Amino acid sequence: MTPNAPNVLDDAPNAPDARIPPEPAAGEPAVPVLRAEGLVRHFALARTRLWRPAPRLRAVDGVSLAIAAGESLGVVGESGSGKSTLARLVMALETPSAGEVEILGRNVHRLGRTALRRWRRHFQMVFQDPYGSLDPRQPVRRIVAEPLQALGETARAARDEAVAEVLLSVGLRPGDMAKYPHEFSGGQRQRIAIARALITRPALIVADEPVSALDVSVQAQVLNLMQDLRQRFHLAYLFISHDLAVVRYVSDRVAVMYRGRIVEMAPTEALYRAPAHPYALALLRRPAAAGPAMGDAELSDDMPGQAGCAYAARCPFAQARCRLEAPGLRDLGQGRQAACHFAEQIIAEGAETAHRLAEKRDRTAGPPESG
């Protein structure tokens, strides 16, 4: 345990201050809400040859990131890029093959079962599908109160009070408590899911594609709600999406993932103005490339031991050097990092592209030609 970590574990479960996200006292260095270091998660695939070792899918392959209190980090990438696995590793729903995840200074994969259960108060999750993530046989009261109940706060009156409060803060009525999920629309269901994540007053909410299952008109409402809540409760978000517009709206910084690695990390506006990695550039030019329809091919052609940049085969800027030498994530200044040998050139190229795109959008006010 880090000595600076606020010792919330030992608080009485019902003590009111246990709900407040711990903040470092003045003078102490700020503990990041989330710090991931060298996260790796391999999956064994089905054996293709009897005498060869089973191929491994490197879903997450050395990801390091940090999120400060109240900060929102967006993660984008096509499906199969390891975004969801990253979310599950952060949520301690899966065990990393290597690396560590610290939430408020505590390595969640090292905590004992009870300690982890208690620590989960500080990090909650919102899932993609609001139809699948709420138990159809439970009333809203139980769904929303479940994280509290798991913490051992079993006094029903107190729980109902907390449920009513969070329902109000997500724009639902306390009277909705007695209803069942099927009585709500998709957007309302996602509000219920958000209320559930809020009820323990976490410091971090991991949102895995929280709006991609919703109608476009409803997406905006839910995103606005998430922005409001973030300011009100000083929440940090790890916001995962394949939709660049959505990520741009909610994130302070964006991490672009490709094949289990972060290939670029930059402040949101800098990235959207001029990405430094060709893959990020491709995503901006062709947003559909990140969509859920793609990716199966990407999943299967994992080649272990391949030298050079993983993106070289798809990269229009690839040089001989790219196929020989894998670029590491390097600092480009102004808080941005990219894993590309030619990041500086790409930024210049990207600025031009972004400019052209913006012009075109203004002219046609329609969707880009490639769907």
The residue ranges that bind another protein (CB under 8 A) are 91, 93, 113, 116-118, 120, 124-125, 127-129, 132-139, 141, 146-147, 150-151, 175, 177-180, 182, 193, 196
Q: Which is nearer to another protein, 202 or 287 (CB)?
A: 202
Q: Which is nearer to another protein, 162 or 347 (CB)?
A: 162
Q: Which is nearer to another protein, 44 or 93 (CB)?
A: 93
> In Å, what is the CA distance from 82 to each residue of 8, 13, 236, 254, 279?
32, 35, 21, 15, 15
Q: Which is nearer to another protein, 91 or 332 (CB)?
A: 91
Q: What is the smallest separation between the CB atom of 177 and another protein, expressed in angstroms? A: 7
Q: Which is nearer to another protein, 213 or 284 (CB)?
A: 213
Three-state DSSP string of the chain: CCCCCCCCCCCCCCCHHHHCCCCCCCCCCCCCCEEEEEEEEEEECCCCCCCCCCCEEEEEEEEEEEECCCCEEEEECCCCCCHHHHHHHHCCCCCCCEEEEEECCEECCCCCHHHHHHHHHHEEEECCCCCCCCCCCCCHHHHHHHHHHHCCCCCHHHHHHHHHHHHHHCCCCHHHHHCCHHHCCHHHHHHHHHHHHHCCCCCEEEEECCCCCCCHHHHHHHHHHHHHHHHHHCCEEEEECCCHHHHHHHCCEEEEEECCEEEEEEEHHHHHHCCCCHHHHHHHHCHHHHCCCCCHHHHHCCCCCCCCCCCHHHCCCCCHHHHHCCCCCEEEECCEEECCCCHHHHHHHHHHHHHHHHHHHHHHCCCCCCC
Q: Which is nearer to another protein, 57 or 177 (CB)?
A: 177
Q: Which is nearer to another protein, 79 or 337 (CB)?
A: 79
Q: What is the smallest separation between the CB atom of 122 and another protein, expressed in angstroms? A: 11
Q: Which is nearer to another protein, 139 or 308 (CB)?
A: 139
Q: What is the smallest separation between the CB atom of 94 and another protein, expressed in angstroms? A: 10
**Quick one: which of 231, 141, 128 has its CA closest to 195?**
141
